[in-house]
Chain A
Amino acid sequence: MGQVLALDTLLHSRQVWQGRAAPQPSGSQPTGWATLDAALPSGGWPEHAMTEILLPADGVGELQLLLPTLARLTREGRPVMVISPPYVPYVAGWEARGVVMSNVDIVHADERDVLWAAEQCLRSASCAAVLAWPLHADDRALRRLQVAADTGKALAFLFRDRRHAVQASPAALRLELESTPSWQIRVRKCRGGNPPVSAVPLASGWS
């Protein structure tokens, strides 16, 4: 650490735990869900970092969680990469939620190349957000993505099965989606604070 850092910036970036609740900084990457923003220590998605989203099954609202963010980014004209999604993104449904599809690149990659493609996109620093569905990813691979997201200053979203919850993960934020009895999110890990104890309920709705 050769460079001089102001103490304020260190405290504000919440890398130092002070033992008491610091005032909530307003995040520059709001999730679009007020309850979730309030529960997260960064007030939104952690910037320049990877968010891991654990799912019990496909189609439990993982896109609804992200679409407000994607809509915000694509409307600003910033590109978003969707790497090897499990199903075909249905344009009408995405556009109904405000996403500009011309800024969304859908990348088809084999199982082996998903992580490579995600890393390339993140590292390139020309994408605002990268969504990826890797089937097999170990701790090393995830750490690479986390570093790439940091270098490329992009948001990385990784969708994985719930059974990976027991694995350690270098992600800055780990969320677990629950669909029964109601749609809610459990924060498993978040950088900059203790994860909230109770699940965060989200207003459910399919349309």
Chain B
Amino acid sequence: MLWACILLPQLALDGVLRRRPPSNEPLVLVSGPAQARIVHAANASARAAGIYRGQRLTAAQALLQQFVMVEHDPEDEARWHRLLAAWAYRYSAEVGLYAHAVVLEVSRSLNLFGPWPRFESLLRDDLQELAFRHRIALAPTPHAAYVLAGVHDGLAVMSPEILRETLSPVPITRARLPADATQGLPSMGIRTLGQVLKLPRAGLQRRFGTELVAQLDRLTGDEPTPMDSYRPPDAFEQRMEWTHEIEHVEALVFPLRRLTSDLAAYLAGRDGGVQRFELELEHRSGLPTCVTVGMLAAARDATLLFDCARGRLERLELHQPVLAMRLVASDLPPFVPAGRDLFDTRPTHAVPLDQLRERLRARLGEQAIQHLHRTVDPRPERAQSDAAHVKAATSPETLPRPTWLLAAPCPLRGPAPEVLAGPERIETGWWDGGDIRRDYYVVRTAQGQCAWVYCAPGEQGNWMLHGWFA
């Protein structure tokens, strides 16, 4: 077993930063009761000004005149944590959640994703894309990976023998041992993990209880680690909230890109697709504005999802400013990737046909693209349909049929046309009230057009134009 630990040192801060456009202004997360507000986290430019975690807010305000203050929301942080677990599920079937970290079992994933350095760079690229700062370590036990990630970024320990050596110089304060041991051991003159591991277990157990010994055994792999494996939820829901009101749709585009890329990451982890999802724009008062984004087939490509959602959103007129946006995808059908020809001759910048269709539908409307097929009905008005549920005819028609059909027949004007063929009697439709009784002819008009016309049975005149042999 090999476990990778992805430590997320700035989870809460990254969660807040990623929903705002990139900027350099100082930003501080605050927490604590109203009388004693403290700094929970600060971004790089705030830290450069001397603000640090755990500082009193009043002290921070004395250091820096102007900074953005955001209330720390533990619920929000937990949501990001779960999102990252859903993302990690793509790489491993065994994913566990530790405080500020995600661990995943990778020994079997290495067969698929390549040796660890390549796999590690895959993970790092994804996290970079999702905008979460991270530290990654690899070890034979999850707890050891968790400890090592806190000590040294990018450390990879492949075998249990080396693990003991690597763990020994780790200071007690960073070994993530139970709290009483972390305090008690240094006062006994024991400063590193190596020293603890050499101590007789019986004495340690007497002094600090069973918890410490069990922890040490799990750390070195002498005892298996009980782990609640993460299971991804069956629906995706993500919400973004702003401290200010957004009045223009353009300003929603950046958060939308984040939401759709999160959805894509979640779908990739679940190996699923999405065909319909909803965007809810929440206002100060009244019901939220709901935008439904539907696609022709299940998709999970981040660009495609963003393109579709953006097209729908841009057609929207905001009547009220928006305070928060929520993306809900509850119907997640299986995803079938489109087959591509190995010897595809299309240029590399080609937009796939599905994506093109979605783009057209996003701007021109849901019903903009039609695929007509022939039905079994002999009436010209109903001889073809766009609906998938209408049965398609199989046998080809041998009688002359035009290539253009008028949506509604209209009287044929002009001088009397020359009859080329006909009549063909179409008399049917008694079963659904739409019965017709017509004689169809092919005629040539004075302008040289070939027309498909009909008149009442028996008479040759009062032509009604129904199609063109164009």
Question: Which residues of A are in contact with B by a Cβ distance under 8 Å?
Answer: 56-64, 67, 79, 85-97, 101-102, 104-110, 113, 116-117, 120-121, 123-127, 151-153, 179-181, 183, 206-207
Residues of B within 8 Å of A120, CB to CB, are: 356, 359-360
Determine if B469 and A207 form an interchain contact, defined as CB atoms under 8 angstroms apart.
Answer: yes
In the assembled complex, the Cα of A95 lies from the Cα of B395 at a distance in Å of: 11
Name A106's closest neighbour in chain B (CB-CB): B370
Residue of B nearest to A67 (CB): B403
For residue A123, which residues in chain B have a CB less than 8 angstroms away from its CB? 351
- What count of chain B residues pass the 8 Å CB interface test? 49
Which residue of chain A is the closest to B404 with respect to CB atoms? A87
How far, in angstroms, from A58 to B403 measured CA to CA in the complex? 12
In the bound complex, CA of A87 to CA of B468 (Å): 9
Which chain B positions have C-beta within 8 A of A183?
448
Measured between beta carbons, the chain A residues less than 8 angstroms from B404 are: 58-59, 63, 85-90, 93
Number of A-B contacts (CB under 8 A): 166
Please measure, in the bound complex, the distance between the C-alpha atom of A108 and the C-alpha atom of B357, giving whole angstroms.
12
With A102-B373, A105-B371, A179-B447 as known contacts, state yes or no: A63 contacts B470, CB within 8 Å.
yes
| Interchain CA distance A127-B354 in the complex, whole Å | 11
Does residue B199 face the partner (Cβ distance < 8 Å to A)? Answer: no
Taken together as a complex, chains A and B put the C-alpha atoms of A180 and B450 apart, in Å, by 12
Contact (Cβ within 8 A) B353 A62: no
Q: Is the CB of A107 within 8 A of B384?
A: no
Q: List 6 A-B contacts (CB under 8 A).
A: A59-B450, A59-B468, A87-B405, A93-B402, A105-B357, A108-B367
Are A108 and B470 interface neighbours, CB within 8 A?
A: no
**In the complex where A87-B407, A90-B467, A179-B447 touch, is A106 in contact with B356 (Cβ < 8 A)?**
no
Question: Given A58-B470, A180-B448, A90–B403 Cβ distance below 8 Å?
Answer: yes
Q: Are B442 and A79 in contact (CB under 8 A)?
A: no
Cβ contact within 8 Å between B403 and A64: yes
Q: Report whether B449 and A57 are in contact in the complex, using a CB–CB cutoff of 8 Å.
A: yes
How far, in whole Å, are A183 and B351 apart by their CA atoms in the complex?
39
Minimum distance in angstroms from A140 CB to a CB of chain B: 20
Give, as a whole number of angstroms, the nearest-CB distance from A157 to chain B.
13
In the complex, A116→B368 CA distance in Å? 14
